[in-house]
């Protein structure tokens, strides 16, 4: 019996190696992201699940806009009515805590609002919110969120992001935490574990290094 898509069995079925619609969306992200193909596939697959959930799509931690462009392209094609919001300093890392974080102030500074807006805007218009978290969330207290990608790397930013975002995630929504399993981001994992220690929903750690939290209870 012929095995369908056997060329993707390396050694298990690995759709992120280039298959179907995902390959198209990953091609948009790849030139401007450090997020690996398997992690981009997690974004694609979870956004596909959350796309029908009421609320907006948020990315917190944008850097050069690669994964933002992936999200934007998917929304353009499947859910053009959904708002995409992007949050970043667009000027590098803020001050970090050397007791919790390995990143330093100024890391990832080789980006800008204009460059990201131009790249992502070529795919789909979105709302860009430059500045520090949580200050850049001001005025969005009434928002509902279907999907959030949190890629902030450091303790204080992840802590403050979850405190604002999680209460606003709709039932059925999902949060993807990019940095959870990476030894370069111990503060990010600490912030996630501390926050969800007091919640009914719990992070699902993936072998990609990411963690997922599905809002299955309110």
Q: What is the CATH number of the domain that holds 48?
A: 3.40.50.150
CA distance 69 to 201: 29
Residue 193 resides in a domain: yes
Residue 19 resides in a domain: no
Residue 5 resides in a domain: no
Q: Is the pTM of this model over 0.85?
A: yes
pLDDT recorded at residue 125: 87
User: How many domains does one find in the chain?
Assistant: 1
Tokens 């309110």 identify what position? 218
pLDDT recorded at residue 5: 61
CA distance 172 to 36: 26
Residue 189 resides in a domain: yes
Residue 199 resides in a domain: yes
β-pair partners for 9: 13
Q: What is the pLDDT along the chain (218 residues), one digit of tens a residue?
A: 544 565 555 555 556 566 678 999 999 999 999 999 999 999 999 999 999 999 999 999 999 999 999 999 999 999 999 999 999 999 998 999 999 999 989 899 999 999 999 999 888 989 999 999 999 999 999 999 999 999 999 999 999 999 999 999 999 999 999 999 999 999 999 999 999 999 999 999 999 999 999 999 76
DSSP assignment of 48-68, as one string?
Answer: HHHTTSSSEEEEE--TTSHHH
Q: How many CB atoms lie within 10 A of CB 164?
A: 19
CB 187 within 8 A of CB 155: yes
Range of the domain at 99: 38-214
CB 26 within 8 A of CB 70: yes
- 204-208: long-range contacts, CB 8 A cutoff, minimum separation 24: 205/180, 205/181, 206/42, 206/181, 208/36, 208/38, 208/39, 208/42, 208/181
Peptide bond into 11 cis (omega under 30): yes
Residue 102 resides in a domain: yes
β-pair partners for 59: 86, 149
Residue 67 resides in a domain: yes
**DSSP H or E stretch at residue 101:** none
pLDDT recorded at residue 3: 46
Residue 4 resides in a domain: no
Q: How many CB atoms lie within 10 A of CB 100?
A: 17
């Amino acid at each position: 019996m012929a095995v369908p898509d056997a060329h993707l069995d390396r050694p298990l079925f690995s759709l992120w190696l280039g298959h179907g619609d995902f390959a198209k969306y990953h091609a948009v992200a790849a030139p401007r992201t450090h997020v690996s193909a398997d992690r981009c596939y997690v974004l694609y697959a979870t956004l596909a699940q959350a796309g029908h959930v009421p609320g907006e799509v948020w990315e917190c931690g944008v850097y050069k806009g690669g994964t933002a462009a992936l999200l934007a392209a998917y929304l353009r094609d499947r859910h053009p009515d959904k708002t995409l919001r992007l949050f970043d300093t667009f000027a590098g890392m803020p001050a970090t805590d050397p007791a919790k974080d390995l990143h330093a102030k100024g890391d990832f500074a080789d980006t800008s609002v204009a460059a990201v807006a131009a790249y992502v805007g070529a795919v789909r218009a979105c709302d860009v919110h430059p500045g520090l978290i949580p200050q850049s969330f001001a005025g969005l207290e009434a928002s509902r969120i279907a999907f959030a990608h949190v890629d902030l790397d450091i303790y204080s930013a992840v802590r403050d992001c979850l405190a604002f975002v999680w209460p606003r995630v709709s039932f059925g929504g999902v949060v993807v935490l990019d940095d959870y399993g990476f030894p370069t981001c111990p503060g990010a994992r600490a912030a996630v574990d501390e926050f969800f220690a007091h919640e009914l929903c719990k992070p699902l750690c993936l072998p990609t290094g990411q963690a997922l939290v599905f809002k299955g209870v309110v």
